[in-house]
Chain A
């Protein structure tokens, strides 16, 4: 259950047209000949390939691979299938990798009608319909298609355990016109995407969802249908594990707090303060940025330093970067005194690596300094402290006072007076947090805070967002679990066989996302079926050991008590990098556990607020 492994597997399949496992087997069987690999074709040139992508697969491939990596597999040309100005190059073999949308299929039909390349190997990211396949076969008059295969990669891999579907407003809304309803497109997309994810992980899961979430239960139902579809039965025929994997569908509305807080770990912070779009960071708005650093790629797959530091908090990150720079400096220093030929030689030998290192050092330096600049400029240290207190302590009066101070730009710290004022967006966010936190507190002053904001110049209609949030995720909308989402990190709980790792001494990281509690419960088999109903695609005779002695509806009850070893979590309404960190931490602490986390998109505070605003404007006003 490692998404990087999955994507490597598929990539190999694509470029080498061969199952890596099988190739391994072959090379084992004839070891002697593997010394000098025999050319697979008469002349080596006939191996040169072109990779044809559509808009969906372009992002998939760019997240999983680099151009030079593909070049090593003889892919000399990467281009889009919708690009009409392609040259005719009959010397090339084409690998077509597209999502089977009607649009892409039409482009492919055109291409096959007038083939520009020698032969075509066609790969689809998801299930292709029979009629689509027939159309393609009819278009292939010149019989250039030599292979058609479905691989299942209809999702975007961000980290080795994090995926998303990139469904962002305004293009791909997920919320329908009513509270708790899907937009039709988004539901289809999610079902397709999750199905392909399950297939790529070879998992046939039991499905669990939160009973209070209409969107979650709808999705769960659709997923069950997708898995149980008769035409998919051959695809979902996997070897049974000791316990069935679990697909856990969670609704963002049950934890609106996590995406509203300023996170303090590297990957999260970059996303929050600068913005990550499918591993690409756009730094062009940073003052004084050099040309080559305007667009940088942050991939834990290709960047070793980032892989090590992505979950570090800002303090540890600074240390890490410092040692990285020192390391770099020591290398440059040693290279400065080139006296002997030996030195020179060493310098030349190390040069490419050296160059790479320096690029990476400056990249991370730039990121860290930009984060630091933003933190100071927006006075985020102050704000975050209040946010954390708000989210994890119950002290209404003090919180209220602090918020009022911030809203009125009053600061007890004389130095802070000189600082730039806190942005309206931040103030609005604080009030939203306050409203969610003290919604049920009889003394709450939401109205008064709203009027303060209004006086500050935030128009009344923007203030509606606060109401949208209460409408979306007010206390009555949230799942009445025994865990309060506002709980502090009490959990150095020594739960049987389940380790967590919290340093709760950091005041900026007091809040622990609800996800952690859920994971800890599900791994102990303590997720109640009342709150988290279960749908099982398994027939009675499979996993019967679980069902022994059970009469009628006891079956699923027993299943829910199983302690799963593989969990796939999907957040309806977006996931955060902070939660990805939690998952990574938990899987490191509990190595027998494998968790894949995903969401309809990856939120930061801004995108989350925008999404709720967009949806809230369409929802009918509540009667509250």
Chain B
């Protein structure tokens, strides 16, 4: 039965060139085709009224008996019963293979393609009269007049080509008018969805274009509304066909007889909405044509039929255009239509036929697949959209909201949440495009949002490319080169030094190198020059006209200098520093530092400058100096830069340590709060724990805010950077304080709750009630934190104030302890990570803390509290 209803009226068999753009006109034209076919039985009279929808003509309708129908369902209406009757016979591919005519291929795109469409191409199809099902009509109440006819009853076969355009025009007019009166019905959209689904099913045979047309046709054709509705049910129930019983196409309820089904549909699925609709539309009566599917053996050769079709279309188009001019369409629309016609190539039969052959051959090659439905969720009576609670339809799904299976996950959704399409394989899996070509084993299918979005690669974003390794390769190449250069340079300079010292030795026996340096310029200039020249051949200065570094041209003012390191000629401009004197004792210092890095401590380097200098070009001197700079950098020399900066960062370190401990307590506290909130009660030990954590938190926070204030007031920014830095510190700390206080704020309320819950524990009740009235302090004023702390009742002999103090000190001690513990952990960490600079700071911090702890301890001892030392 479901198949019967599933037959579509909106299908057309007109092959359309794939390049054609379908728009309204197109749609109306298609519509016209459909209605055309229908009206052809009524009469050849062209004057149709707007409302007068062509309904059934002399089609000799006959009411179906249950018997007939079940037979129909069982044997899927095929005249040639050579095919097996398993459900797959219903699939178009079989038919395609079977008949092998391209025309049929076009037509039978889906199992649900209607016979009405076939009949519109009837001049070329031949029906086999034998084995035809009797004409039948399924009478439902008004909107559901389901009219099933056999194609031979349509009589289209005998229709001449000439009268066709006439009717066509009328219908054109009709549909245009219809379109005008058509108010956008809300559920059209949903119907559209349904159609899309169909669309994608149809796609199996790659006749994208064709089914696109079909889709639009149905959308605009009021007549087909209810068939569509019925269809939507059909889609859901197609899989039940192989069972021999009848199912309601809408709710899948099982029926025994057709009559029962009829009644069921009337009673259950005829919602008031539908009735009103049918009353508003004059064309309320709908026919649903159904017929056997095996009627396509065309006696004509493909070419012949093509010719006929193209000439037919050609003719139709012209007629249509002529008619259009008669109808007083708005000028714009008409020109639009014209351009459309031209564009779509309808009037070009050659193009048309070539396209057709292409597509038909293509269709033969493709093997549309059927996506499995085994995983489909079974529909319940009170089915809701699986996208709940986010779905707008919170109620039970019905025809209006749509009941659609996601083809991928098999769950049931409403229309709105299955407006997504992706390619699926036969096993309802995503198509893996990487596995080369993926042939034709996929089909477009309707899926739910989640399945659509969770496709591999759909959410991908943010391509990046890491060039670090390339960079380091370049860098190491370069630094190797420069290392070699530098070593060469150093060697030369050492030779120079040796030469000088040899000379010294000649003059002053047994004097050491150090002594040599102290004797300034003891070397005669001429000898020295010779020595220096022997290091590296000097560049011929006559060939150099410009300084290679600063590109100034040499002249009387700009002197030429020879670099003693590399021998090249550079300028002696004091501004550019292209050449400068290099103190040889620097080299010695560098050597000391290097050896110091090696782990040896040679004691203090000679800080005395011998004044023995040598002229080096910028390149050589930087290669010498920057190397040593590197070393000191890698040592993490933090004490570069202005004193303010280092002060800021020292303070910031302390702040961050404090912040860390605050974070720790905060997380503990909020965890406690969370457990209280969930349990809504608390044991006394838990409560005291809570109090402890809170005190620690407040004290730490107080310290933190004090430190921040100190930092911000003490340091006067000297530059824009420092100012920005301080601003950032202020911002982040104020945000942090706010965040933390918000945790604290939630406490009093909670404690109140707990205290009311724990009224049986009086001492706790009183303890916590003392907390409640005080509004949570602003962190800056946390000095008031101390009053919260109740004197421990276990120590009555000590005076209240003393107890207060002891308690306070204990708390401080506790906090200090924790902090030192934290820092110790960090020290361990630093040692492990070999961050020795961090270590210095941390150790300094630890010392400070320990000093404070000691003083606190002493104070406590003074007060006689011996039990300290937690």
A→B interface (CB under 8 Å): 1-2, 5-6, 9-10, 13, 35-36, 39, 41-46, 48, 67-68, 71-72, 75-79, 85-91, 115, 118, 127-128, 133-134, 136-138, 140-152, 199-202, 235, 238-242, 341, 344-345, 348-349, 352, 394, 482-484, 487, 492-497, 499, 521, 524-526, 528-529, 541-545, 548-550, 554, 557, 561, 590-592
Question: With the chains together, A561 CA to B196 CA distance in Å?
Answer: 16
Q: Looking across the interface, which residue of chain A has its beta carbon closest to that of B724?
A: A77
A152 — which chain B residues lie within 8 A by C-beta?
A: 462-464
Closest to A151 in B: B464
Min CB distance, A90 to chain B, in Å? 5
Measured CA separation A409–B721 after assembly (Å): 57
> What's the interface size class on B, roughly?
35 or more
Chain B residue contacts of A5, Cβ below 8 A: 461
Contacts A148-B471, A238-B457, A492-B184 given; does A46 touch B838 at CB 8 Å? yes
Task: Give the contacting residue for A545; candidates B189, B199, B440, B472; CB below 8 A.
Answer: B440
CB atoms of A521 and B775 under 8 A apart: no
Q: Are B724 and A79 in contact (CB under 8 A)?
A: yes
Say how far B418's CB is from chain A's closest CB, in angstroms. 10
B422: nearest residue on chain A (CB-CB)? A242
Contact with A along B437-461 (1 / 0, CB 8 A): 1111010000001001001111011
Counting from the closest, the 5 A-B pairs by CB-CB distance are A239-B457, A137-B474, A240-B433, A549-B362, A42-B830
Whether B801 is near chain A, meaning CB under 8 Å from some CB there, is no
B656 and A45 contacting across the interface, CB-CB below 8 Å: yes
Contacts of B206 in A (CB 8 A): 548
B residues in contact with A341, CB < 8 Å: 773, 775
Chain B residues whose C-beta falls within 8 Å of the C-beta of A344 in the assembled complex? 775
- On chain B, the residues within 8 Å of A199 by CB distance are 463
B196, A496: Cβ atoms closer than 8 Å: yes
Minimum CB–CB distance from A551 to chain B (whole Å) comes to 8
> Which B residues from 713 to 743 make CB contacts under 8 A with A?
719-722, 724-725, 728-729, 731-732, 735, 738, 742
Which of these binds chain A: B165-173, B372-380, B637-645? B637-645
Q: Which of A145, A348, A528, A591 contacts B475 (CB 8 A)?
A: A145
Judging by beta carbons under 8 Å apart, are B436 and A541 in contact?
yes
Residue of A76, A89, A394 near B728 (CB, 8 A) is A76
Q: Is the CB of B745 closer than 8 A to any CB of chain A? A: yes
With A and B bound together, what is the CA distance between A494 and B220 in angstroms? 8
Across the interface, do A592 and B641 meet the contact criterion of CB distance under 8 Å?
no
Q: A6, A142, A345: which has the most chain B beta carbons within 10 Å? A: A142
Knowing A148-B468, A345-B745, the reply to whether A79 touches B830 (Cβ < 8 A) is no
Let me know if B645 and A88 touch, CB within 8 A: yes
A/B interface sample: 29 pairs, CB < 8 A: A1-B461, A9-B462, A10-B462, A39-B826, A41-B838, A42-B829, A43-B826, A44-B657, A44-B660, A71-B728, A76-B724, A89-B725, A138-B478, A141-B479, A141-B627, A142-B630, A146-B468, A235-B465, A239-B456, A482-B336, A493-B24, A496-B216, A521-B21, A524-B22, A525-B212, A542-B433, A550-B362, A557-B18, A561-B19
* A9 vs B482: C-alpha distance when bound (angstroms): 39
Residues of A within 8 A of B212 (CB): 496, 524-525
**With A241-B457, A592-B452 given, is the CB distance from A528 to B829 under 8 Å?**
no
Answer yes or no: B421 CB below 8 A from chain A CBs: yes
A550 to B475: give the CA distance in the assembly, Å: 52
A45-B343 contact, Cβ under 8 Å, with A202-B461, A496-B212:
no
Give every chain B residue within 8 A of A349 (Cβ-Cβ): 742, 745
- Asked if B868 is an interface residue, CB under 8 A from chain A, the answer is no
Q: Is the interface of B mostly helix, strand, loop or mixed?
A: helix
Given A9-B462, A133-B470, A526 contacting B775 (CB threshold 8 A):
no
Enumerate chain A residues within 8 angstroms of B462, measured Cβ to Cβ: 6, 9-10, 13, 151-152, 200, 202
Which chain B residues lie closer than 8 Å to A79 at the CB level? 721, 724
Given contacts A76-B725, A242-B423, contact A87 B642 (CB under 8 A): yes
Q: What is the bound-complex CA distance between A141 and B775, given in angstroms? A: 58
Most buried by B among A145, A352, A497, A499: A497
User: Which B residues are in CB contact (< 8 Å) with A10?
Assistant: 462, 464
Question: Given contacts A133-B474, A545-B437, is CB(A484)–CB(B208) below 8 Å?
Answer: no
Give B418-442 interface residues, CB cut-off 8 Å to A: 419-423, 431, 433-434, 436-440, 442
Give min CB distance, A504 to chain B, whole Å: 12
- Name the contact of A141 in the complex, choosing from B199, B336, B630, B645 (C-beta under 8 A): B630
Q: Determine if B833 is an interface residue (Cβ-Cβ < 8 Å).
A: yes
Contact of A526 among B21, B461, B731 (CB under 8 A): B21
Contact A496 B21 (CB under 8 A): no
The answer to whether B464 touches A13 (Cβ under 8 A) is: yes
CA distance A591 to B841 in the complex (A): 56
B166-205 interface bits toward A, Cβ cutoff 8 Å, 1 = contact, 0 = none: 0000000000000000001000110011011001000000
Contact B219 A494 (CB under 8 A): yes
Interface residues of B in 365-399 (CB under 8 A from A): 365-366
Known: A77-B725, A87-B721, A147-B466. 4 other contacts (CB 8 A): A43-B830, A76-B732, A202-B463, A592-B419
Chain B 617-657 interface mask (CB, 8 Å, partner A; 1/0): 00000000011011001101110111001100100110011
Is B192 a contact of A494 with CB atoms below 8 Å?
Answer: yes
Collect the chain B residues with CB atoms within 8 Å of residue A35's CB.
667
Cβ–Cβ < 8 Å partners of A524 in chain B: 22, 212
Q: How far is the CA of A348 from the CA of B841 in the complex (A)?
A: 39
A554 to B649, CA, bound (A): 68
Interface residues of B in 22-44 (CB under 8 A from A): 22-24
Which B residues are in CB contact (< 8 Å) with A44?
Answer: 656-657, 659-660
**Residue in A42, A141, A549 whose beta carbon sits within 8 Å of that of B482 in the complex:** A141
| Interface residue? B209 (CB, 8 A) | yes
Of A235, A349, A592, chain B has the most CB atoms within 10 Å of the CB of A592
A144 to B641, CA, bound (A): 17
A496 x B343 contact (CB < 8 A): no
Contact among A86, A140, A150, A482 with B465 in the assembled complex (CB-CB below 8 Å): A150
By a CB distance below 8 angstroms, the chain B residues around A150 are 464-467
Shortest distance between the CB of B870 and any CB in chain A (Å): 21
Question: Chain B's nearest CB lies how many Å from the CB of A593?
Answer: 10
Known pairs A42-B830, A45-B653, A496-B212; A68 contacts B731 (CB<8 A): yes
- Residue contact B463 to A200, C-beta cutoff 8 Å: yes
Q: How far is the CA of A484 from the CA of B841 in the complex (A)?
A: 74
- Beta-carbon contact of B471 and A136 below 8 Å: yes
CB <8 Å contact, A76 and B465: no
Which chain A positions have C-beta within 8 A of B826? 39, 42-43
Quote the shortest CB–CB distance from B202 to chain A (angstroms).
12
A557 cross-chain contacts in B, Cβ below 8 A: 18-19
Q: Which residues of B contact A67 (CB under 8 A)?
A: 728, 731
A543 / chain B contacts, CB cutoff of 8 Å: 433
| Cα–Cα, bound, A77→B721 (Å) | 7
Report the bound CA distance from A124 to B22 in whole Å: 46
Q: What is the bound-complex CA distance between A537 and B723, given in angstroms?
A: 52
- CB < 8 Å: which of B719, B728, B838, B841 contacts A85? B719
Distance in angstroms between the alpha carbons of A140 and B234 in the assembled complex: 71
Once the chains are docked, how many angstroms separate the CA of A484 from the CA of B215? 25
* CA–CA, A325 and B515, complex, Å: 87
Measured in the bound complex, the distance between the Cα atoms of B279 and A459 in whole Å is 65
B724 near A148: Cβ-Cβ < 8 Å: no
**CB proximity of B655 to chain A, nearest CB, Å:** 8
Docked CA distance A352–B420 (Å): 43
Residues on A with beta carbons closer than 8 Å to the beta carbon of B9: none
Is B74 located at the chain interface by the 8 A CB criterion? no
Bound-state Cα–Cα, A2 to B460, Å = 10
Cα-based distance from A41 to B656 in the complex (angstroms): 12
B274 at interface, CB cutoff 8 A? no
Cα separation A542 to B626 with both chains bound (whole Å): 54
| Contact indicator A9/B361 (Cβ below 8 Å) | no
How long is the Cα–Cα vector from A494 to B719 in the complex, in angstroms?
A: 65
Known: A494-B192, A545-B442, A592-B421. A71 touches B732 (CB 8 A): yes
Q: From residue B351, how far is it (CB to closest CB) to chain A in Å? A: 12
Q: Closest approach, in angstroms, between the C-beta of A92 and any C-beta of chain B?
A: 8
